[in-house]
Structure formats: C-alpha cells, structure tokens
C-alpha cells in the first residue's frame, strides 16, 4: 500500500462533492506535515470561493480514518498527518508481500526495448555502454512491473565495413581454404581499416566484396557469418561480465531486415511519400526543416541504390509493430540520433506503419566525459575499450561486483539526458550517491541479522526516525513507477540512496539489538523491509546486492 494513493482515495470523493466533478487531489509528501494536497488552490477561481474555505470544506467532508491531523495551511493547502497505526499497517502489508506492495500493471503492454545495439566487428565503446546499462535497467523495471518486454539488440551487422572486413579475412586465409582466424576483433578491424585507408587495390576489392556479399556470394556470406558470430560471442561475454540481461536470442541485427527493404520503398512509393533528391529516394516528413528552413529528407535509398540506416530502421519498426505486436517502442540511443528517430517515427506514422495507439520513444542520453570535460578518451586520445574499462573497475574495487556496480550506478544515478563525468574516485566512494554506498548499506543490514540471531517481527512505528524510515520505505512504489513511466532510472537510484540514508539515520538513533523484545522485533522488521527494498530496487537497476563485503 502506498500512502499517497490511500490519501488520494480518501480526498477524492470529498473533492468531487465540493467541486461537482472529479478533481485530482494531488497528494504529495510534504516537509510541513506528512502529506499535502493543493487541490483547493486550483479550484478557487472556478468555484469563486477562497481556497482556504474550500480546503476546510473538503476536510470536513472527507473520510479521515487513519488520519491523525488535517490542517488548512498557507493560502489553502491541506496538510495531512497520518496515524502511526496507519503507517504500521501499510508497512506490515508491504512486508507480507513478495512484491513489497507494488501491484503488477493492470494493463500489461508489450514493450520492445532496443538497446546496446553496437556495431559488430568493432569493439563496443563507452557510448554503447550507456545504452546497455540504461536499457537494461529499463527492461528489468518494466518487466518487473508486469509488462511483456521484448529486448532487441539491433546489431550493426551489415553495410560497407563488412566488405573491407571480409576481404581482409580472405587476405589472411588465402583463397578461402585457409585458417581465417580473426583473433582479437579490434586488432583485426584496425588492420583492415589501415589497409583500406592506404591501399587502393584493397579498397577496390573491398567495394566489390560488398557487392558480392549483398548478392549472396557463398564464400563472402560464410566469412561474414563468421565475423558476426565472433562479434556476438565477444558481446555476450561483455554482457555477462556486466550482469546485463541481453542474451543470444535478443540479437536482431540490421542484416535481418535486408529482404524487407525493397518493400519499404514500394510501400512508401504507393503512399506517395517518396521524392527523388540528387538521385536518392527520400521522404520529407511534415514538420522537419533544416537550419536554412528547407525541408529535411530522410534518405531511404541512396543514389548508388544501396539502403542505409534509416531504411533499416523503418523495416525494423514495421516488424516490431506488425509482427511482434508491440504497444510501445523504446530506442535507447545517444542524443545525437534524436532527429533520426523523430524522422523515422514521423515517416512511419505517415506510412501507416505506426498506428496512433502505439507509442515510439527515443530514450536519448548524454555523453560520458573525461575529467577535462571532453568526450572520454584514453590518455593517447584513442577510444576507451569496454573490456579494459571493466578490468580497471574490478582492479580498483574491493570486489568485482562493487567495481561493476559502481560503473553502472554512476551511469544510472544522474538524469540520463545530461552528460556525466567519468571519475573513478567519485564512483567508487563508499559515501555519497554511489553504487558502493548502496551495496555497503545492504550488506550492513545483512550483517545485523547475522548478529541478531532472530528474524524480523511485525512492524510498529513510534519514534520520529522510525517514521522517517517508514515514509522512505513507502515511497518505493512511486519511485519505481516514475523510473519506468518516464524512462528515468535516476528516479529509482535517487530513491534508493535516500532510503539508505534514512536507514542509517534510524540505525544511529534507534537501538535495534539492545531494545526490548517487541521493539527489537519491530525494528528488525524495519531493517528487513529496508534490505528487501534495497535488494529489489538494486536488481531493477542491474546492481548486485552482496550479503557480505
């Protein structure tokens, strides 16, 4: 049970009686009482009455069971103080429920979450790290809320770089009968790239190889498959190290949609949406203009006849809605691709592939910056490799789960739309809004139970620090719903941090093991509920909770 919604239900009929129509009581936690409603203020103009009078009227008409005190305050707020008994009951109900009182979604939706989605045959870099971490937290949270989540890893496994890579593989292995060993992917990619940049003959062969690959040449296809498979193995290793829930079945790379691209062009043509521009086939969706005011094109087929990133995204979108039956589409991709997605969504709507009742959202995020405020790079100015980053996290932390948790939490604890500075010392600190702080808070409670030798009992609250912790505990549901509904994991992260802080204040002021038996059992009950809430919340963020550190 969540007290905001309980108070909401108490005030709603009274407000309706006073206003003559349904009114949102807008109950919020408040520093002046336990909760506050500002609904009377919003009604003053309409009813032509002073807000304080309206508030008093509502208070008089409301069912006040479980409410210790109602006071009209300031310009017309209703301050609500709940009884200790009501708080105790809410906590006991949460404790008795494996879901901590959070009901699963009444109307589950099928939600496709496109995340991680790196480019195959290249090492995953830190930009993909953000998508992977944020997308995974989102997928876990939505799933826990009862939605039917389909994870999609839109792997960049197609396109011109593969001509170069396959050709390089052939060079290494002779005529196709050879060993064709790829070895380390990054080294392999860099070697191919260096040849492509300096060797005209190789460049020509690479271009021809793209054509061969795309027209189904068996050797080219076989080697391409080998490259993609190797890349997938490498990615799955990284996901396992990171504790990310993406598995082998979640790969749905760009290559999957190649057979659908011609149909995308025909479909757009039939709807009269295509226009030619410098030999390319484009759609100019309504409402998109460049800096010069000219309409912006979404290029569907390039002048050379090849299909690009946008065409593939249109085909993928049509598949997700038409075949997978999605109600919602999430794309967890960096902020620079905002316009791309807005245009893809707009074109898909115009084409009728994205019906009104299906929502599509670009879940954008900022960059990871170095201490110099610029994009995170190695000292030599190169891109940071994910594997090296994870190695360093593990080496710097007291346990692998702490190092990995620190990286993930640093990414999730700030508003995703902003950039953040990658700072080892800050993210690994055991105090402050960090992953280790949560992990230590959790482990400390587990250790309390090892010393207690007895389990939690029924919770009752009386002390102010108990009440404060109780309110923090009861804030779990709104935090999870906000994190999921707004696709803002930092709401949950911030909540968990506040909860850990409230627990530590409680623990300082209220002796647990030394208290008399009933109080001791109740306080252990609060500790247990705190541990369970931390554990559940951390698992929704993909952060491991350790019993002992």
Minimum separation from the CB atom of position 348 to ligand ARG (A):
12
Minimum separation from the CB atom of position 108 to ligand ARG (A):
24
Between 112 and 484, name the residue whose CB sits nearer to ligand ARG.
112
Token look-up 């969504």 returns 345
Phi-psi region of 186 (alpha: psi -120 to 50; beta: other; left: phi over 0): alpha
DSSP string spanning 116-135? ---BTTS--BHHHHHHHHHH
Between 72 and 261, name the residue whose CB sits nearer to ligand ARG.
261
Minimum separation from the CB atom of position 263 to ligand ARG (A):
18
Among 433, 425, 423, residue whose Cα is nearest residue 370:
423
Q: DSSP state, 434?
A: S
Q: 302: helix, coil or strand?
A: coil
Minimum separation from the CB atom of position 239 to ligand ARG (A):
16
- Cα–Cα–Cα angle for 59, 61, 67, rounded to 5 degrees: 50
Among 508, 516, 544, 421, residue whose Cα is nearest residue 460:
516
Between 118 and 267, name the residue whose CB sits nearer to ligand ARG.
118
Between 118 and 436, name the residue whose CB sits nearer to ligand ARG.
118
Compute, in degrees rounded to 10, the torsion defined by CA atoms 508, 510, 515, 518: -140
Minimum separation from the CB atom of position 24 to ligand ARG (A):
37
Between 316 and 428, name the residue whose CB sits nearer to ligand ARG.
316
Between 364 and 405, name the residue whose CB sits nearer to ligand ARG.
364
Between 156 and 475, name the residue whose CB sits nearer to ligand ARG.
156
Among 350, 355, 358, 352, residue whose Cα is nearest residue 284:
350
Minimum separation from the CB atom of position 311 to ligand ARG (A):
11
Minimum separation from the CB atom of position 336 to ligand ARG (A):
9
Diameter of the chain measured on Cα atoms: 89
CB-based contact 138:489 (threshold 8 Å): yes
Say how far residue 355 (Cα) sits from the centre of its chain.
24
CB-based contact 352:270 (threshold 8 Å): no
Minimum separation from the CB atom of position 131 to ligand ARG (A):
7
Between 310 and 545, name the residue whose CB sits nearer to ligand ARG.
310
Cα–Cα distances (Å) from 229 to 50, 155, 221, 236, in that order, read 70, 11, 12, 10
Between 114 and 123, name the residue whose CB sits nearer to ligand ARG.
114
Minimum separation from the CB atom of position 248 to ligand ARG (A):
18
Q: Can you tell me the distance from the alpha carbon of 100 to that of 531, in angstroms, rounded to the nearest whole number? A: 11
Minimum separation from the CB atom of position 120 to ligand ARG (A):
9
Residues near ligand ARG (CB under 6 A)? 114, 117-119, 154, 156, 313, 316, 331, 333
Helices (H), 125-242: 126-144, 161-173, 185-198, 200-214, 218-242
Residues 6+ apart with CB under 8 A from 374: none
Between 158 and 440, name the residue whose CB sits nearer to ligand ARG.
158
Minimum separation from the CB atom of position 325 to ligand ARG (A):
18
Locate 143 and state its tokens: 């799933």
Between 385 and 426, name the residue whose CB sits nearer to ligand ARG.
385
3-state class percentages of the chain: helix first, strand second, coil last, to nearest 5: 55, 10, 35
């Amino acid at each position: 049970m969540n007290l905001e919604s309980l108070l909401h239900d108490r005030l709603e009929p009274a407000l309706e009686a006073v206003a003559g129509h349904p009114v949102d009581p807008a109950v919020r936690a408040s520093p002046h009482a336990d909760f506050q409603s500002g609904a009377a203020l919003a009604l003053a103009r309409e009813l032509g009455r002073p807000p304080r009078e309206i508030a008093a009227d509502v208070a008089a008409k409301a069912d006040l069971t479980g409410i210790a005190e109602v006071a009209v305050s300031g310009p017309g707020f209703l301050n609500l103080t709940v009884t200790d008994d009501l708080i105790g009951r809410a906590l006991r109900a949460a404790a008795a429920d494996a879901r901590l009182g959070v009901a699963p979604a009444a109307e589950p939706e099928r939600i496709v979450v496109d995340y991680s989605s790196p480019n195959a045959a290249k090492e995953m870099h830190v930009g993909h790290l953000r998508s992977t971490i944020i997308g995974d937290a989102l997928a876990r949270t939505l799933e826990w809320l009862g939605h039917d989540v389909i994870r999609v890893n839109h792997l960049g496994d197609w396109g011109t770089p593969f001509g170069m890579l396959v050709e390089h593989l052939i060079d290494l292995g002779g005529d196709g009968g050879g060993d064709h060993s790829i070895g380390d992917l990054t080294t392999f990619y860099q070697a191919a790239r260096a040849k492509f940049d300096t060797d005209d003959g190789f460049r020509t062969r690479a271009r021809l190889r793209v054509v061969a690959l795309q027209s189904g040449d068996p050797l080219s296809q076989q080697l391409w498959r080998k490259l993609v498979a190797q890349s997938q193995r490498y990615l799955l290793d990284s996901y396992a190290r990171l504790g990310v829930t993406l598995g082998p079945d979640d790969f749905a790379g760009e290559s999957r949609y190649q057979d659908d691209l011609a149909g995308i062009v025909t479909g757009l043509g039939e709807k009269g949406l295509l226009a030619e521009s410098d030999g390319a086939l484009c759609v100019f969706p309504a409402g998109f203009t460049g800096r010069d005011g000219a309409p912006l094109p979404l290029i569907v087929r390039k002048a050379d006849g090849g299909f690009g990133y946008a065409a593939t995204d249109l085909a993928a979108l049509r598949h997700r809605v038409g075949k997978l039956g999605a109600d919602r589409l999430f794309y967890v991709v960096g902020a620079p691709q905002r316009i791309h997605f807005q245009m893809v969504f707009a074109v898909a709507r115009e084409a009728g592939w994205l019906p009104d009742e299906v929502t599509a959202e670009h879940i954008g995020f900022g960059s990871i910056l170095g201490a110099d405020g610029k994009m995170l790079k190695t000292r030599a100015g190169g891109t940071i490799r994910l594997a090296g980053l994870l190695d360093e996290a593990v080496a710097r932390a007291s346990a692998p789960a702490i190092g990995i948790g620190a990286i993930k939490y640093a990414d999730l604890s700030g508003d995703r739309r902003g950039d953040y500075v990658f700072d080892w010392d800050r993210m690994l600190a055991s105090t402050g809004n960090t992953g280790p702080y949560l992990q230590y808070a959790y482990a400390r409670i587990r250790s309390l139970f090892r010393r207690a030798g007895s389990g939690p009992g029924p919770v009752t609250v009386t002390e102010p620090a108990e009440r404060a912790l109780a309110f923090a505990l009861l804030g779990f549901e709104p935090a999870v719903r906000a994190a999921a509904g707004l696709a803002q994991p930092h709401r949950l992260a911030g909540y968990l941090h506040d909860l850990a802080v409230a627990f530590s204040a409680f623990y300082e002021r209220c002796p647990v093991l030394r208290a008399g038996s009933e109080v001791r059992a109740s306080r252990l009950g609060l500790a247990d509920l705190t541990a369970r809430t931390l554990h559940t919340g951390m698992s929704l963020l993909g952060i491991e909770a350790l019993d002992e550190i």
